[in-house]
Structure formats: C-alpha cells, structure tokens
Amino acid sequence: QVQLLESGGGTVQPGGSLTLSCTGFGYLWNYCMGWFRVAPGRERERVAGMDIGGSTIYGDSVKGRFTVSKDNAQNTLYLQMNDLRFGDSGMYYCAVDEGRSYGCTMDARRFDYWGRGTQVTVSV
C-alpha cells in the first residue's frame, strides 16, 4: 500500500517561514512529485513539483518564495516556504505522478497517490 505522510504544518505570522516534509516508499522517488494546496472556498492549487532529474516547477503565486527539494536517501520531499502570506493558508498535500518521471506538469488529475495533508495557517 502506497503511503505518503506530510508533516511540518502549523501557524505562522505573515512574513514567517515553514518547512513541510513528505515521506514515502522509496520507489516513489522515481517519479514526479509535487505539492498542492486547498483552501476553503478555493480550488486546488499547484504549489511546486520536482522530477527525478531535479527540475522544478512552481505555481505563479509562490515563485521566489517557496523552494521544493528532496533527499532520496531519506525518501523525503521538502517544501521550504518563506515570506508567508495570508493567501498561503490551506491544507498542503504531497502527491506522486506515477506516469511521469521528467517534466512534471503539475496537473493534479495526473497524480496517482496523495497524502492526507498538513495544515498551514498564516495569521497575526
């Protein structure tokens, strides 16, 4: 059974930082992996993705503030989030696109496995 486990969420003030982690089975790291988020009243939004070659892709709203990275030895995908804003609040999910290894599209419909999410709240 495939399992992805996110952690690192919490409450932070605007301008603050958080680092999210996603751990999973080793073979998953042979495919595109990504982060998505969902906020109340808003559609699921792509945040960041990384293919097995290390190429990254980001949603427009997080470019320059968020950084996705991975540690294959630790089977962990990270999302470093800086300069957090109110609009960054939401449930953040880690996901795997088992059909693609390079050139992640970050089309959520293509992602096969999802974690249960970790909540990020930006609040004063």
Enter the tokens of residue 47: 């945040």
Helical (H) or strand (E) element with 118: strand 118-122
The position carrying tokens 């969420």 is 9
- 37: nearest Cα among 48, 22, 50: 48
Query: Which pLDDT score, from 0 to 100, does residue 26 have?
Result: 66
Q: Residue written as tokens 């953040």?
A: 92
3-state secondary structure 38-77: ECCCCCCEEEEEECCCCCEEECCCCCCCEEEEEEHHHCEE
- Per-position pLDDT tens, the chain of length 124: 678 999 999 999 999 999 999 998 767 788 999 999 999 899 999 999 999 999 999 999 999 999 999 998 888 999 999 999 999 999 999 999 999 999 999 899 999 999 999 999 999 9
Integer Cα distance of 83 and 92 in angstroms = 17
